[in-house]
Amino acid sequence: MGIRVLIVGGGGREHALAWKIAQGPRVAKIYCAPGNAGIAEFAECVAIEPSDISALCRFAVKNAVDLTVVGPELPLTLGIVDVFEKEGLRIFGPSQKAARLEGSKIFAKEIMQKYAIPTAAFTVFADATAARDYLLKGNSIPVVIKADGLAAGKGVFPSLRVEDALAAVDRIMIQCEFGAAGSKIVAEQFLFGEEASFICFTDGTSIIPMPSSQDHKRVFEGDRGPNTGGMGAYSPAPVITAALEEKIMQTIMRPLIAALREEGIRYKGVIYAGLMIDRDNPYVLEFNVRFGDPETQPLLVRLKTDLVDIMQAIIDERLSEITIEWDPRPAVCVVLASGGYPDKYEKGYPILGLKEAAQVPDAVVFHAGTALRDGQVVTDGGRVLGVTAWGISIADAVQRAYQAVNKIHWQGMHFRRDIAYRAIKHA
Ligand code: AMP
Ligand code: GLY
């Protein structure tokens, strides 16, 4: 008899997870909470919010779920793994204590400082006056001001001028735009270089890197404009050479897992390091305790090994017994967003051309913010679709992705036409 899987979340990352998990030979049933219109094609979507841990737990017990997979960070930081395990349920992801690596930037910085993991120099402030005094001395510029807690990627303010840094302090600590997440801030050294995402599987002892990837956080071409949840991603990221990968494992990833063990925390799940690469030296910008979105989309289309096998091995702390295989072909994901995103946007527009896009070979359209209305797929979020394709070269993958993008349309749709430009330049 096959296993019954519950996926928590409803974005592009979760569609990619569901798509990959559904290919597993031993999977009998997939539920997704809350899911989206794309996920609904092969999973039963249930209307439970990812933050409603007790409802999710009741659902898993009642429906005899054998494995729960958590997409987003919020339930992880709220302790979903601890709650499920107490109930005797199998769940893939880090414990609440381990999830503090993402839930508190101060916690992450202090671990890195204590264990000499390379990251930007920093100072912590618990009150706005002290932060202002520090910034007005002027010798900290350029600086990056960050809210301590979860802020959906919006609590980070790279500041080239003192005025910008002061405005950030005001928004976080006085206007309280991020609520309690902004009761403390980190002011850190502004780093320069090229960013990359470095994502690993770990069971708390063994740690295995996935291929490198890179996302495009800015809304406009040329990496300009405000930050978004991610307008596209690709894998591999040529800036991460084999030598650099070894250096990252040796100076960052293995020391991190050992440091956490030293602190009494066994980390199980996916660990994501957002890195700045400055002349072959990697520095940690942030840790995420989950798969990246949209990096997961190009990564999982490259994964050849059964994802459920990997997750089960991690839960049972026997990751070292598993060999993970990847398709050498590069992959790319182009995000199609609602008009106005990342600011205000409207929802409910019918999406045309999904069938035609699905016919493009070596491409798959992952849904992010979509819903079904009277049998019609409509827009239901800022990031709507992640058109993902692979090819013999990154240029080939990009060309194929945009070939599929060109079949799709809705009122106000916007996207970047330069996804993976850095990788193409490298090549
Ligand atoms: P984070 O959520 O901490 O990764 O920050 C979001 C984005 O802000 C990163 O992807 C970087 O583009 C930028 N950023 C964060 N920290 C720094 C830093 N110390 N120096 C330069 N840019 C940074
Ligand atoms: N792509 C960035 C993130 O998942 O946080």
DSSP code, position 213: B
Residue 149 near ligand 1, beta carbon < 6 Å: no
Q: How many CA atoms lie within 13 A of 44 on its CB side?
A: 11
Residue 215 near ligand 1, beta carbon < 6 Å: no
Residue minimizing CA distance to atom 1 of ligand 1? 286
| CA 394 – ligand 2 centroid, Å | 21
Q: Which atom of ligand 2 lies nearest, measured to the CA of 230?
A: 1
**Ligand of minimum distance to the alpha carbon of 232:** 2
Looking at 106-115, 221-230, 304-313, 337-346, which range is the least confident one? Answer: 221-230
Residue 274 near ligand 1, beta carbon < 6 Å: yes
pLDDT over 70 for what percent of the chain?
100
**Which residues are near ligand 2 (CB < 6 Å)?**
215, 230, 288, 292-293, 295
Encode pLDDT of 59-115 as tens digits.
999 999 999 999 999 999 999 999 999 999 999 999 999 999 999 999 999 999 999
Burial 249-286 (b: 16+ CB within 10 A, else e): bebbbebbbebbeeeebbbbbbbbbbbbbeeeebbbbb
- State phi, psi for 354 to the nearest 5 degrees: -65, -40
Average pLDDT of span 105-129: 96
Look at residue 1 in the predicted model and tell me its pLDDT: 73
**Ligand of minimum distance to the alpha carbon of 298:** 2
| CA 398 – ligand 1 centroid, Å | 26
Look at residue 134 in the predicted model and tell me its pLDDT: 92
**How many H-runs (helices) and E-runs (strands) does the chain carry?**
15, 22
Residue 286 near ligand 1, beta carbon < 6 Å: yes
Ranges of beta strands (E only) in 248-382 are 269-278, 281-288, 331-337, 363-367, 370-373, 376-379
Ligand 2 pocket, mutate which of 76, 156, 197 (most atoms under 8 A from CB): 197
pTM, entire model: 0.96
Residue minimizing CA distance to atom 11 of ligand 1? 285
Nearest by Cα to 294 from 13, 35, 9: 13
**Ligand of minimum distance to the alpha carbon of 151:** 1
Look at residue 154 in the predicted model and tell me its pLDDT: 84
| CA 274 – ligand 2 centroid, Å | 8
